[in-house]
Amino acid sequence: MRTASAVVRPKITFRIFIAALVLLNAGFAQAPASAPALPAKSAGFYDPLPQDTGEAGLKLELRKLQTTGRMMMVVAHPDDEDGGLLTREARGKGVQTLL
């Protein structure tokens, strides 16, 4: 015949086991992950074009502040775009362009 303490012990040890697993899992979740090794130059950083720096870049930014125009060009094929027109509007007049 089983006694009351024999039935209670497996429940207590099971609860202790579950509590230990939860605490262990929480400990691993709080542990800092090793930082990935970054290359010498980050892949997300690109040097600005020469025409976007210096006096020319400053003039372009000031021109963009005065212009509220936007131009969107929709083309059927990549060779249908007019790169000269887009460049003239974007760099010459400060219009925001979208292809």
Residues 6+ away with beta carbon under 8 Å from 89: 69, 71, 95, 97
pTM of the model: 0.44
Quote the CA–CA distance of 29 and 16 in Å, as a whole number.
20
Q: What is the predicted pLDDT for the residue at 63? A: 86
The domain segmentation of the chain, as residue ranges, is: 1-31, 57-98
pLDDT of residue 67: 84
User: What residues contact 39, with CB distance under 8 A and at least 6 apart?
Assistant: none
pLDDT digits (tens), the chain, 99 positions: 556 555 556 777 888 888 888 888 887 777 666 666 666 655 566 788 888 888 888 888 888 888 888 888 888 887 777 888 888 888 888 888 887
**Concatenated DSSP letters for 22-67?**
HHHHHHHHHSPPPPPPPPSS-TT--PPPGGGSHHHHHHHHHHHHH-
Residue 70 · residue 96 · CB < 8 Å: yes
Which amino acid appears at position 40 of this protein? A
